[in-house]
Every structure is written in structure tokens, then in C-alpha cells.
Amino acid sequence: MRHATSLVVATGIVALMLTGSGAVAAPAGGKAIAAGPAPTWAELANARYSGVGSKGPVTLADGRWEGKPFVAGGASVPTLVLSEGLHLSGDLDGDGADDAVVHLTFSGGGTGSFGYLAVMGRRGDRIVQKAIGPIGDRVQIRGARIDGGAVVLEVLQPGPTDAMCCPSQLATRTLRIRKGKLADTASTPTGTASLATLEGREWMLRSPVPGSKDGPAPAITLVVNGSTVAGTAGCNRYTGGVQPGATATGLAIGALASTRMACAPDVMQREQAYLVALQNATAWRFDAGRLALDWNADAGFGSLVFEGRPAVGP
């Protein structure tokens, strides 16, 4: 959800609300000033950020900034995008007020996609940047939480022998504010990515299905269990086989079988579009706590984006 305050990983991704209360230290001879709430996602989508690969501070508009083309008239431009899937809140600098932590992706127009975490707070009626730090080129965030004044990330990142395109190393990283920067203080590899990484969650589709501007309603879900995928496509339940691809995050989904219930025409249209995209998925990745399945079919290409919740038992 866009306004979720925190994400935490426990063999997957579970949304967890973290709240912080308290008061800012009282000025000499005065009363304590109540700490304001952490900045909202909507406020942060229009805030000013610095130290993210551009020449100077930039201000987002609805979560995005675009610079001038590198070559006059060219299509390649630098961009900075605020991720919708990650919005933490908690006190990271010990001042008694809740800060917000968000994820930003900077692209300079090449193949690189550089992630940053920014710590944002309030100063009077202004939103200010307290710290920022890089998390790396094409590092994928599985989940995140604030714990003991630190940001703890569960990531999928390139291992020592991985090409930048194809990360396979799962790791836990801890970041703390150090002299105005958010810096890694610990990093521990925890395993190698595989289809099993996606198990233990029921994934709820959040992106519109191909050809539709509307989100899925009724719910569309996905569960990965061993060599099987299953879920509901909005009206009917479906099941099929899934196999690993050529890389750690590649996959191939076989023919899908479904029940034969009839629903409203718009529901059936979304269902069919979803099943076509799902059967043509070729790779998976994490996008700021969400799961994205990249698909490529004769009719086009795109990504199905899901949020995770604990899997429902039989």
C-alpha cells in the first residue's frame, strides 16, 4: 500500500505498522514540544532530495523528477523515482521525533539503476532531508524495518561472481545515520535466490492487468509452492507448473488450468489478460518490498506487481 509505514521480512514480506511517539527535548526554561508525525508518502512524493546522482538538489512532482536530455533532442534523460512499496517510520537520530525512510531510484540513462534510502523529517512546516545513502546498483529490497535506531534491509543483490543483470545473493544489511549519511554498518549473506524464495506468501496483485487502467477487483492472487503456481484470477481459481529459468530469478510457467465459473464481462476480461501475462512470465524480482513478474508475449510486455501476505493454509 502506498501509505504503509513499514515492511518487515519473515521468510517473505509481512507488512508491519511501526509507530513512534515521544517529545522533542524541551528548550531551556520551556515545555517539551510534541514531536510531529513522520512525513507522509504524499508529502515525500513532492519533497526535495540531494545527493542522489544528480548535480544538485532536485524536487519531485508526484514521485518523479526528470532532467534535461543528455543530448539535445535525445530521448535519454536522468530520472529520480520514489518507490511506492517502501515507507518506514521511526526515530533514527534519537531526537524523539519519528522520521520517514523512503527508497529512491536514480537512472542516468544507461543500464544502471541506483537505489538510495533517504531519511526525511519535519522542521516546522517544512519536510527536510536528514540523511541519505546508496544501497547499490540494481539491489532489490525484499523487505525492510526500523529496529533499534537502524534500518534493516532484506535484499537480493549481485554476489561476488554475479553479473549486474542477474543478482542471486540474499543478504541482510543494517544501516545507521553517520555524520549526515545513511551508511552500512553490517552486511550478512543469508542464502541464494531461487523459486523457493517466493514460497510462504500469498501474493496479491496490485498493478492493473494488461490493457486495463483499473486495479484488480475482485482480488487476483498468486501462491508459489514447489513446482506449482496457483491462486484466483478474479473469478476462477487456477493452477499450473513452474520451473526455474536460466538465472536465479528466471522462471517458466507451464499451461494453466482453471475452473469454469462465469462472472461479469469486465471481470472475465481482466482474468484472461492476467492469465496470459502470467503464463508468459520469464523472470521475477523484488521492487521495494513488492514482487514483480516480468512477462513478454506477442501482444506486448510488462510487469505484474504483487504485495505479499502470509499464505492461507488449507
Domain boundary among 192, 224, 251: 192
Q: Tell me the CA distances in angstroms from 196 to 12, 243, 248, one per residue in order.
A: 10, 11, 11
Same domain, yes or no: 162 and 211: no
Same domain, yes or no: 131 and 61: yes
Provide the residue-wise pLDDT of the chain in tens; the chain has 314 residues: 444 333 433 333 333 333 333 333 333 333 333 457 999 999 999 999 999 876 689 999 999 999 888 777 767 889 999 998 899 999 999 999 999 999 999 998 777 789 999 999 999 889 999 999 999 999 999 999 999 999 999 999 999 999 888 999 999 999 999 988 999 999 999 999 999 999 999 999 998 887 666 655 789 999 999 999 999 999 999 999 999 999 999 999 999 999 999 999 999 999 999 999 999 999 999 999 999 999 998 878 999 999 998 766 54
Whether the model pTM is above 0.75: yes
Domain holding 168, by residue range, is 7-192
Please count the structural domains in the chain: 2
Q: Work out the end-to-end distance of the chain between its first and last CA atoms, rounded to an integer number of angstroms.
A: 26
Same domain, yes or no: 32 and 172: yes
Positive or negative CA dihedral for 118, 115, 300, 237?
negative
Domain boundary among 192, 209, 240: 192
Q: Give the closest residue to 252 by CA, choosing from 222, 223, 293.
A: 293
Domain boundary among 172, 192, 212: 192
Q: Give the closest residue to 193 by CA, choosing from 170, 174, 222.
A: 170
pLDDT at 30: 37
Q: What is the distance between the alpha carbons of residues 35 and 73, in angstroms, rounded to a whole number?
A: 48
Same domain, yes or no: 212 and 285: yes
The cell for 25 is: 527535548
- Residue 285: inside a domain: yes
- Residue 2: inside a domain: no
Same domain, yes or no: 41 and 188: yes
Residue 178 DSSP SS3: strand
Residue 41 dihedral angles phi and psi, to the nearest 5°: -60, -40
Amino acid present at 53:
G
pLDDT at 187: 96
- Residue 183: inside a domain: yes
pLDDT at 216: 56
pLDDT at 54: 66
Same domain, yes or no: 183 and 70: yes
Residue 30 DSSP SS3: coil
- Residue 1: inside a domain: no
pLDDT at 215: 56
- Residue 105: inside a domain: yes
CATH code where residue 262 lies = 2.40.128.270
pLDDT at 72: 74
Positive or negative CA dihedral for 92, 4, 212, 245?
positive
Q: Tell me the CA distances in angstroms from 63 to 1, 116, 265, one per residue in order.
A: 15, 14, 34
Same domain, yes or no: 28 and 54: yes
Same domain, yes or no: 219 and 185: no
**Angle at CA 33, nearest 5°, toward 27 and 36?**
135
Same domain, yes or no: 186 and 127: yes
pLDDT at 209: 80
pLDDT at 13: 34
